[in-house]
Amino acid sequence: MNRIDRRSALRRLAAGAGAALGSAAFPGLAQAAASTASRAASGGPKRIIFFLQNQGFDPATCIPAGMKNSGSLAGAKLPEPIEALEPYKERLHIINGLHGLHTSPSHSAFFGALGGYRGGDGVPPAGATIDYELSKVLPETLLPHLCIGMDSMENMTAKPTVANLSASGAGQPIFMHSNPNHLYQMLYGGIAEGEIRRQHEARSGLFDRMEALAAAKGASLPAADSQRYGRYVAGFHDINGLRERLAGVSDHLRNFAPAVDSRYTAPEFETDWHDALLDLGISALKSGITSVLTIGSGRGEIFGAWKGLGVQEQGHNLGHMPQPDNPIWIKIRQYNSRMLVKLMEELESVPEGSGTMMDHTLIVYTSNNADQQHTSGATWPVMLLGNCGGVFKTGRFTQLDGKRPINALYATLLQSAGVPVERYNMTEKLAAKFDAGKGPLREILA
């Protein structure tokens, strides 16, 4: 994360939210807002949301009955698991026929799901994932990339951060936030009051001391250890830098901080925390704190629980249940769909340029495990929501021939953001075996 001064932070924050808020909110930042509006008018995403549900995404739970070939969704009825999206069909594009054979997903592809490379349990990332790569080229924000992970209450409490899905490079995982209290402190602790403010100040002071101590102690280590130790120093430096940058725009953030209620401090079910995490992710997008949000339901693993939906089964066993016509999976997928609707409606409520934030946002919904828990990755369904100023086709179902990998989709996303690439994280040697084409997926571009 680049170190930027307060003035630069304000300017870049305005580029992410100035068009929606108007120059009155940030006197003297009209030029940045105009730049944002110009980019929005030219098409392409200004922000992207990745939503990955674990245990697989069976195509039968999203493809309308009877649709075998590509075509319009206008006259089709969406399946029960995603019926909440029925009023938004004109913004939806269902894609079937991509593959991830080369990721060896098994129980999960882990980092490989968004990286398009071989992944595995305990295997470090082989390279940067697409969400991080996009965060580098979309309009710069205070926190370019935010990851949140939803799991059982036990797992989220015991491991409030975990890294399974996103990475900034080879061997450089990005942690997901799973405790909404901690994430709230990180984003809004500087403007909070009472206990949240006290905890924020205590944690901030601790991080300051740890950065200074780590820097001092690391200087006396051998070269190899010193380099490894330096990563920890950089981590604390990034945390402290983010805290300072957020403090510099505290007045602006007050307009977006969610209200802290009993879901945070006394959740009845894990879904209370899921909902609170979603609210925090939405607030980070609307405020301009971030331009890329990654949501891992199940946190890229085979775990996860939804007792708040009346689902008593959890974890690994859920993956051994067929998803089509299964009342348990219908409840989970419907819950996901309601979250997608909330994301769209919240972004639709904020003006941006000549439209709304949703007009310049793309939501990518899929699984970190292709179509099912025990899978070869031969079929990897994806749903897109949003057209980003007319860049993507919507209101359609596209059936591909199974010869192009998920990497081709990621190359398409990069191209839509202004970065033309023929391949993403795939060598020509690997492509000769796993990719029958080159460049973006023309079938999904307008």
Helix (H, G, I), strand (E, B) or coil at 299: coil
What CA–CA distance (Å, rounded) separates 376 from 266?
Answer: 41
pLDDT exceeds 90 at position 332? yes
**In this predicted structure, what is the pLDDT of residue 6?**
39
Paired tokens of 406: 């998920």
Position with higher pLDDT, 216 vs 77 = 77
Helix (H, G, I), strand (E, B) or coil at 201: helix
What CA–CA distance (Å, rounded) separates 202 from 10?
Answer: 26
For residues 389-406, give the mean pLDDT. Answer: 97
For 376, which DSSP code?
-
For residues 96-110, give the mean pLDDT. Answer: 95
Tell which CATH classification among 3.40.50, 3.40.720, 2.60.120, 3.30.300 matches the domain 43-181+263-444: 3.40.720
Percent of the chain surpassing pLDDT 90 = 73
What CA–CA distance (Å, rounded) separates 37 from 19?
Answer: 6
Indicate the pLDDT class of residue 224, thresholds 50, 70 and 90. Answer: low
Q: Locate tokens 């170190």: which residue?
A: 3
For 140, which DSSP code?
P
Please list, in sequence order, all residues whose beta carbon lies within 8 angstroms of the beta carbon of residue 105, skipping any fewer than 6 positions away: 112, 113, 119, 368, 369, 370, 375, 376, 377
Paired tokens of 320: 């051994």
What CA–CA distance (Å, rounded) separates 409 from 382?
Answer: 9
pLDDT exceeds 60 at position 20? no
Of these ranges, 104-108, 256-260, 441-445, the one predicted with the greatest mean pLDDT is 441-445
For 437, which DSSP code?
S
Indicate the pLDDT class of residue 243, thresholds 50, 70 and 90. Answer: confident
pLDDT exceeds 50 at position 294? yes
H-state helical runs in 248-391: 250-253, 262-265, 270-287, 327-348
What does residue 24 show for φ and ψ, rounded to 5 degrees? Answer: -65, -30
Q: Quick: pLDDT tens for 35-63.
A: 344 444 458 899 999 999 999 999 999 99
Helix (H, G, I), strand (E, B) or coil at 191: helix
**In this predicted structure, what is the pLDDT of residue 191?**
67
Helix (H, G, I), strand (E, B) or coil at 65: coil
Paired tokens of 238: 């990034």
What CA–CA distance (Å, rounded) separates 303 from 319?
Answer: 9
Please list, in sequence order, all residues whose beta carbon lies within 8 angstroms of the beta carbon of residue 186, skipping any fewer than 6 positions away: 177, 242, 243
Could you write out the three-class secondary structure of 18-43? HHHHCCCCCCCCHHHHHHHHHHHHCC
What CA–CA distance (Å, rounded) separates 151 from 132?
Answer: 22
3-state helix, strand, coil in the chain (%, to 5): 45, 15, 35
**Cβ proximity of 252 and 287 under 8 Å:** yes
What CA–CA distance (Å, rounded) separates 238 from 153?
Answer: 28
- Domain locations in the chain as residue ranges: 1-41, 43-181+263-444, 193-256
Q: Quick: pLDDT tens for 121-176.
A: 999 999 999 999 999 999 989 898 999 999 999 999 999 999 999 999 999 999 99
The per-residue DSSP string of 83-127 comes to GGGGGGGGGEEEEEEEE-GGG--BT--TTHHHH-S---TTPPPSS
| Beta pairing, strands 351-352 & 355-356 | antiparallel
